[in-house]
Amino acid sequence: MRNAIKNAKLFVCDMDGTVYLGERVLDGALEFVKRVKESDKEFLFFTNNASRRKEDYLEKLERLGFGKCELMTSGDVTISYLQRHYPNKTVYVLGTEALRNSMRAEGIKLVDDASADIVVSSFDTELTYEKLCIACDGVRNGAVYLSTHPDYNCPTDGGFIPDSGAIAALITASTGRTPKYLGKPYKETAEAICALKGVEPKECISIGDRLYTDIAMAKNSGMTSILVLSGETKENDVTETNRPDFIVKSVENLTSVL
């Protein structure tokens, strides 16, 4: 692991379950991020959680003591995907008002009914049955169906709560259609990260607590993967097929290597 970290140019670090849980900073996280920033390496937070504005996350990171940070979300990847592949199409977003406002600010044409050309579902902490019905009707009507990210659960101080993947599973159960997922672990995200920072995947280390997002993105794209056991994944969840390059208890274990 020491050689992999020495040769890396960019650390891509998850947030929920990796450096904090709710309002609680995980042990060693502040020192780890500080050490990376003081090194000659780049550091980027990436969260699949698209329920908040990017500015909200940056404010939270600074408030928790991480200082000024650079951040990308699955919402950013989804906006970029819509702009490149579906310009001028109408979109119904099953998501928070923060996500909807972010899309409006980037010129995405949002509608509030099932006439949309595209339905995007996400982690919606403001979910209502009416919004769910509109999304399902839109998908049944033939709309392109996208999801910002596939995470089933979001870790919090009080335990896990249903995330974007769980909401998408409900829509799939009702309509029979599965979405095209964006965010981690999909290629669009790895490509967006590398384009933003001007690096190759082999020069990146992806750190996170989920095998099917953080670790899978690294394996799919050629990044080095480090699993932390501070969030969703437990050691007995690891198999030969999903095994990361390295496993540590928490990011605190990486500080000494830096």
Residue type, 48: N
pLDDT for 232 equals 86
Q: Is 60 exposed, middle or buried (0-12, 13-18, 19+ CB in 10 A)?
A: middle
SS3 content of the chain, % helix, strand, coil (to 5): 40, 20, 40
pLDDT for 154 equals 87
DSSP state of 101: H
The tokens describing 58, both together, are 């940056």
pTM value > 0.75? yes
Helices (H), the chain: 2-7, 29-38, 54-63, 74-85, 97-105, 129-140, 164-175, 187-197, 216-221, 252-255
Q: Each residue's pLDDT tens digit in the chain (258 positions)?
A: 888 888 899 999 999 899 998 899 999 999 999 999 999 899 999 999 999 989 999 999 999 999 999 999 999 999 999 999 999 999 999 999 999 999 999 999 999 999 999 999 999 999 999 999 999 999 999 999 999 999 898 878 788 899 999 999 999 999 999 999 999 999 999 999 999 999 999 999 999 999 999 999 999 999 999 999 998 899 999 999 999 999 999 999 998 887
User: What's the chain's length in residues?
Assistant: 258
Distance CA 214, CA 76 (A): 17
pLDDT for 51 equals 94
Q: How many distinct helices (H) and strands (E) make up the chain?
A: 10, 15
